Amino acid sequence: MEKDREKDHVKKALGEEQPGIKEPETKEPGEREFGTKEPKNREPEKRESRIKESLEREPEKRKLEKREAGTKEPKNREAEIKEPQKREPVKRDSEKREPGKRILKENEPGEDESETIRMTRPEGPNPEPAEMSRERKGRKSRKKGICIGVLAFVTVAAVVVYIGIGVFYQTHFFPGTIVNNVDVSGLDVSRAAELLDAVIQGYSLEVTGREPGTARSGAVLGTVTSDAVKLAYTDSEGELAQLVKDQKWLLWIGPCLSKKQNLVTMERGSAVFDSQLLRDTVNGWAACQPENMVPAKDAYIDEFSRESLVYEIVPETEGTQLDVEQLLSLLSESLRNVETTLDLEEAGLYAEPAVRRDDVSLTAPVETANRWLGTRIDYDWNGNEVVLDAETICDWVTIENGEASLDEDAVSAFVKSCARKYDTYGKKKSFVTTQGATLKLTSASYGWRTDTETESRELLELIRQGNSGSREPVYSHKGMIKVTDSVNDVGDTYVEANLTAQHLYLYKDGEVVLETDFVSGKISNGNGTPEGIFGITYKTTDAVLRGQNYETPVKYWMPFYGNYGMHDANWRRDFGGDIYINNGSHGCINLPPSMAEQIYQYVYTGFPVVCYYYEQPVVPDGAEELPDPEIAAQAGNPVDVQPAPEQ
Q: Do residues 311 and 304 touch, judged by C-beta distance below 8 A?
A: yes
Query: What pLDDT, on the 0 to 100 scale, is given for residue 28?
Result: 46
Query: What pLDDT, on the 0 to 100 scale, is given for residue 454?
Result: 96
Looking at per-residue pLDDT, the higher value among 254 and 220 belongs to 220
Query: What pLDDT, on the 0 to 100 scale, is given for residue 593?
Result: 96
Query: What pLDDT, on the 0 to 100 scale, is given for residue 17?
Result: 42
Question: Considering just the CA atoms, what is the radius of gyration of the chain in Å?
Answer: 65
Q: What is the mean pLDDT of the chain?
A: 79
Query: What pLDDT, on the 0 to 100 scale, is given for residue 109?
Result: 47
Q: Do residues 369 and 397 touch, judged by C-beta distance below 8 A?
A: yes
Question: pLDDT tens digit string along 113-149?
Answer: 444 444 444 444 555 566 667 777 777 777 888 888 8
Strand-strand pairing, 262-264 and 177-179? parallel
Looking at per-residue pLDDT, the higher value among 558 and 322 belongs to 558
**Is 484's pLDDT higher than 70?**
no
For 627, which DSSP code? P
**Is 639's pLDDT higher than 90?**
no
**Is 185's pLDDT higher than 80?**
yes
Query: What pLDDT, on the 0 to 100 scale, is given for residue 482?
Result: 85
Which distant-in-sequence residues (6+ apart) come within 8 Å of 216 by Cβ? 210
**Is 299's pLDDT higher than 90?**
yes
Question: pLDDT tens digit string along 281-291?
Answer: 999 999 999 89
Q: Do residues 410 and 456 touch, judged by C-beta distance below 8 A?
A: no
Report the half-sphere exposure of 120 (CA within 13 A, side-chain side): 21
Torsion angle in degrees (nearest 10) through CA of 325, 330, 335, 339: -150
CA torsion through residues 279, 283, 286, 290, sign: positive
Query: What pLDDT, on the 0 to 100 scale, is given for residue 399?
Result: 94
Average pLDDT of span 164-192 = 81
What's the start-to-end Cα distance of the chain, in Å? 129
Strand-strand pairing, 589-591 and 564-568? parallel
Looking at per-residue pLDDT, the higher value among 22 and 556 belongs to 556
Domains of the chain: 2-128 (no CATH), 177-302+316-343 (no CATH), 362-422+450-477 (3.10.20.800), 494-645 (2.40.440.10)
Question: pLDDT tens digit string along 393-426?
Answer: 999 999 998 899 999 999 999 999 999 999 988 8
Q: From CA 605, how far away is CA 598, in angstroms rounded?
A: 16
600's enclosing H/E stretch is: helix 593-602
Of 502, 517, 490, 512, the C-alpha closest to 434 is 512
Q: Which residues of 302-329 are buried (b: 16+ CB within 10 A; e: fewer)?
A: eebeeeeeebebeebebbbebeeeebbe
Query: What pLDDT, on the 0 to 100 scale, is given for residue 176?
Result: 80
**Is 477's pLDDT higher than 80?**
yes
Share of the chain above pLDDT 90, in %: 41
In which band, very low, low, confident or very high, does the pLDDT at 270 lie, cut at 50, 70 and 90? low
**Is 596's pLDDT higher than 90?**
yes
**Is 264's pLDDT higher than 90?**
no
**CB under 8 Å, gap of 24 or more: what pairs does 403-410 form?**
403/365, 404/365, 404/366, 404/368, 404/369, 404/372, 406/372, 406/460, 406/463, 406/464, 408/456, 408/460
Query: What pLDDT, on the 0 to 100 scale, is given for residue 213?
Result: 85
**Is 568's pLDDT higher than 80?**
yes
Looking at per-residue pLDDT, the higher value among 245 and 315 belongs to 315
Query: What pLDDT, on the 0 to 100 scale, is given for residue 443?
Result: 85
Average pLDDT of span 302-315 = 90
Q: From CA 627, how far away is CA 563, in angstroms rounded?
A: 13
In which band, very low, low, confident or very high, does the pLDDT at 232 lie, cut at 50, 70 and 90? confident
Query: What pLDDT, on the 0 to 100 scale, is given for residue 65?
Result: 67
Query: What pLDDT, on the 0 to 100 scale, is given for residue 24?
Result: 45
Identity of the highest mean pLDDT range in 40-54, 174-188, 192-206, 458-472: 458-472
Average pLDDT of span 450-479 = 94
Question: pLDDT tens digit string along 335-385?
Answer: 888 789 999 999 988 988 999 999 999 999 999 999 999 999 999 999 899
In which band, very low, low, confident or very high, does the pLDDT at 107 lie, cut at 50, 70 and 90? very low
Q: From CA 338, how far away is CA 202, in angstroms rounded?
A: 11
In which band, very low, low, confident or very high, does the pLDDT at 201 lie, cut at 50, 70 and 90? confident
Query: What pLDDT, on the 0 to 100 scale, is given for residue 190?
Result: 79
> Any bridge partners for residue 232, and if so which?
272
Query: What pLDDT, on the 0 to 100 scale, is given for residue 171?
Result: 81
Q: From CA 126, how far away is CA 123, in angstroms rounded?
A: 8
